[in-house]
Chains A and B, each alone.
Chain A
Amino acid sequence: MYRDDSEKMNQKLLGLNGDEAAAYAIKQVNPEVVAAYPITPQTIIVERFSEYVANGLVDSEFVAVESEHSALSACVGASATGARAYTATAANGLALMWEILYIASGMRQPIIMSIANRALSGPLNIHNDHSDSMGARDSGWIQIYCENCQEVYDSHITAWRIAENINVQLPIMICFDGFTISHTMENVFTLNDEIVQNFIGKRVFPKITGHLGETDLRLNPTCPITMGAMDLQDYYFEHKVQQHEALLNSLEVIESVENEFSEITGREYGLIQSYMMEDADVALIGMGSVMGTTKYVVDQLRSNGIKVGLIKIRCYRPFPKEKLVKAISNCKVIGIIEKSLSFGSVGSPLYQDIKTVLYDYEKKPLIIGYVHGLGGRDTSPENLKQIFQDLLKIDNLTKKIGNQQYIGLRE
C-alpha cells in the first residue's frame, strides 16, 4: 500500500469508524456551510461535526435543518453563492431529498454528500443495502462507493477537487455501507490539516457571460445572474445533454485527482480496482464493503491454485466502461454481486450496466447476476466461495442457472 515508511510516518493513525472518518475529513476541509439532518446510520457524522462546530474547531456555518429536503436545499443555496457545502444522509433521508438532487446537479453545484447506505422502507429496516443510492443513479450526481474507512476518509478529501473542477462542476455522493463501514472502527491514516488544505485549495469557478458581462458562475450582487430559472422547449434539452457530457468528462478528472492524491498518501483507488485479474477465469464484480470479504475469499481460493479474481467498481456514475471492458477481457465467466433489487426489471442496476456495455463487444463472458445482503443480511466468505465454485463449473450449469440468483435467501 505504501512505497516506503516515510509516507506512513507523515500520517497520523487514528481509530475511526466510517462516519467518524467522513466527519474528520470534512473537519479538515472546513467547508463554509454544513446543513444536515441526522438519520441512522449516518447520525455519527452529524453528531461529530456539531461537536467540531461547538468546540470551535471549524469555521463552518452548521445549519440544523428540519428535514433532508431542507438540508440539500440549504446546500444548493450556499453553494450557489460560491461557498463549499456539505451534507450527509441515508435511505429515507435521501428519498426525501429527491427533488433537490436533480436541482443540485442541474444547477451544476459541486456539493459533497455522504451516504451511509441503508435499505429503503417499507418494511422499516435500518441496515445496509444499496437500494437508496441505486435509485439516485440517474440524478446526475457522481457516485463513489467505498470499501473501508480509509477509503471513506480519502474520498471525502479528493471529492472536492473533482466536483469543483472547471469541466465537471457536479455534486458527488460518497456512498459507504451503513453499519458495516459507518459503525465499524478501523485504523485510518490521516493527513495533517495543512496538507489537506493545500490539496483542496480554494474553490474555482467557471467564467460565464451573464447579461452584465463576464462573471464567475456564482451569485454575486455586483454582477447578478439567474440560476435554475425557467428553461422550456427551447433550451432544456441542450442543458441536459451538457450535464450528461460533464458527467462523462469527469472520468478523466477523477483519475487525475486521485493520481495527485496518491503522490501524497501512497494510496491509489482508481475508477475500478482489479484484484488477481491477470489470469482469472472467473471473476466477481461488485461494490462496497463486500469486496473486502471477496478479496479474502479470492486469496483463499488462489492458495489452492484456483484462478479467480475480482473487480471492485468504485466509481459507479459516471460508469467506467472502457476500464471495465479491459479488466474483464480474459474472463470466461463473471458473477455480479449487488445489494439492490430493481423491481420488475431484467436484473439489478450493475448487472444491467455491464451487460449493456458488453453487447457491443465480440468477446462476451457469461454473466450471472447475484442479489445479496438486502436489508443488511450478512454475506459470509462461505457464500462467496459457493458463488465462485458455482461459476467455476458453469459449463454444466448454464441450463440450470437463471439470470438472477439470490444469495442467502430462504426459498
Chain B
Amino acid sequence: MSKLKKKSELEPGAIPFKSSKEYETGDWGITYPKIDYNKCTKCTLCHFFCPEGAINVREDGYTEVDYRYCKGCGICSHECPVKCIEMIVKK
C-alpha cells in the first residue's frame, strides 16, 4: 500500500494518472492463444478481430499476441480461417 498516492497528491475529478497501457489485464484469462506459424497465412484477421488490440502485426507480416493484454477470449482462434490458433488452458 505504501506506493499508492495520498489524497493530497491526487488530481480533482478522479482522473487516472496512468494510461491503460500500464494496467496489464493479461492475467485475467484462463486460456491463452498460441499461433502455429507453420500454418499461418499472414491474413491478419486475428489482428482485426481482437477486441483488446492485443494482437500486433510484425514487420515480417506475421501476427503476434501481446500476452500482457490478452484476456484469452478466443475470438482470434474462432475467426482464424486456417485454424492455426489454439487456445491453451493456463496452468
What residues of chain A have their CB less than 8 Å away from a CB belonging to chain B?
Answer: 106-108, 169, 206, 208-212, 217, 225-229, 231, 234-235, 238-239, 241-242, 246
A208 and B12 contacting across the interface, CB-CB below 8 Å: yes
B13 and A238 contacting across the interface, CB-CB below 8 Å: no
10 A-B pairs in the complex with CB atoms less than 8 angstroms apart: A108-B12, A209-B17, A210-B15, A212-B19, A226-B16, A226-B20, A235-B4, A235-B5, A235-B14, A238-B6
Residues of A within 8 A of B7 (CB): 238, 241-242
CA distance A66 to B79 in the complex (A): 39
Whether, in the assembled complex, B58 has its beta carbon less than 8 Å from a beta carbon of chain A, the answer is no
B19 and A208 contacting across the interface, CB-CB below 8 Å: no
B14 and A231 contacting across the interface, CB-CB below 8 Å: yes
Contacts beyond the supplied A226-B15, A235-B5, A238-B10: 16 A-B pairs with Cβ under 8 Å? A169-B13, A208-B15, A209-B11, A209-B17, A210-B17, A211-B16, A211-B22, A217-B12, A217-B15, A226-B20, A229-B14, A234-B4, A235-B10, A238-B5, A239-B10, A242-B7
Residues of B within 8 A of A231 (CB): 14
A225 and B15 contacting across the interface, CB-CB below 8 Å: yes
CA distance A225 to B6 in the complex (A): 20
A229 and B4 contacting across the interface, CB-CB below 8 Å: no
With A234-B4, A238-B6, A238-B7 as contacts: A107 and B13 at CB distance below 8 Å = yes
CA distance A242 to B11 in the complex (A): 9
Whether, in the assembled complex, B18 has its beta carbon less than 8 Å from a beta carbon of chain A, the answer is yes
Residues of A within 8 A of B5 (CB): 235, 238
**Taking CB as reference atom, which chain B residue is nearest A239?**
B14
Name the residue among B4, B7, B18 with the largest chain A CB count within 10 angstroms. B7
Q: For A208, give its contact among B4, B6, B13, B22 (CB under 8 Å).
A: B13
CA distance A210 to B16 in the complex (A): 7
- Classify chain B: how many residues form its interface, as a range: 10 to 19
A217 and B4 contacting across the interface, CB-CB below 8 Å: no
**Taking the nearest CB of chain B, how far is it from the CB of A167, in angstroms?**
9
Residues of B within 8 A of A234 (CB): 4
**Taking the nearest CB of chain B, how far is it from the CB of A10, in angstroms?**
37
Residues of A within 8 A of B16 (CB): 211, 225-226, 229
- CB within 8 Å: A-B pair count: 57
Residues of B within 8 A of A211 (CB): 16-19, 22
* Main DSSP-derived SS at the A contact region: loop
CA distance A384 to B20 in the complex (A): 60
**Taking CB as reference atom, which chain B residue is nearest A237?**
B7
**Taking CB as reference atom, which chain A residue is nearest B18?**
A211
Name the residue among B7, B13, B17 with the largest chain A CB count within 10 angstroms. B13
CA distance A106 to B13 in the complex (A): 7
B15 and A242 contacting across the interface, CB-CB below 8 Å: no
**Taking CB as reference atom, which chain B residue is nearest A166?**
B12
Q: Which 8 A-B pairs have the closest CB atoms?
A: A211-B19, A108-B13, A208-B11, A238-B7, A239-B14, A226-B16, A108-B12, A217-B13
CA distance A209 to B4 in the complex (A): 16
Residues of B within 8 A of A107 (CB): 13-14
**Taking CB as reference atom, which chain B residue is nearest A211?**
B19
**Taking the nearest CB of chain B, how far is it from the CB of A124, in angstroms?**
38
**Taking the nearest CB of chain B, how far is it from the CB of A127, in angstroms?**
38
Q: For A228, give its contact among B10, B14, B22 (CB under 8 Å).
A: B14
Q: For B15, give its contact among A227, A238, A241 (CB under 8 Å).
A: A227
Residues of B within 8 A of A106 (CB): 14
The proximity string for B residues 54-86 relative to A, scoring 1 for CB distances below 8 Å and 0 otherwise, is: 000000000000000000000000000000000
Residues of A within 8 A of B17 (CB): 209-211
Residues of B within 8 A of A209 (CB): 11, 17
Residues of A within 8 A of B10 (CB): 235, 238-239, 242
Residues of B within 8 A of A212 (CB): 19
Q: Which of B1-42 contact A (CB under 8 A)?
A: 4-7, 10-20, 22
**Taking the nearest CB of chain A, how far is it from the CB of B49, in angstroms?**
25
Residues of A within 8 A of B19 (CB): 211-212
Residues of A within 8 A of B6 (CB): 238
**Taking CB as reference atom, which chain B residue is nearest A106?**
B14
CA distance A212 to B19 in the complex (A): 8
Residues of B within 8 A of A210 (CB): 15, 17
**Taking CB as reference atom, which chain B residue is nearest A170?**
B12
**Taking CB as reference atom, which chain A residue is nearest B23?**
A230
B14 and A217 contacting across the interface, CB-CB below 8 Å: no
Name the residue among B10, B14, B20 with the largest chain A CB count within 10 angstroms. B14
Residues of A within 8 A of B22 (CB): 211
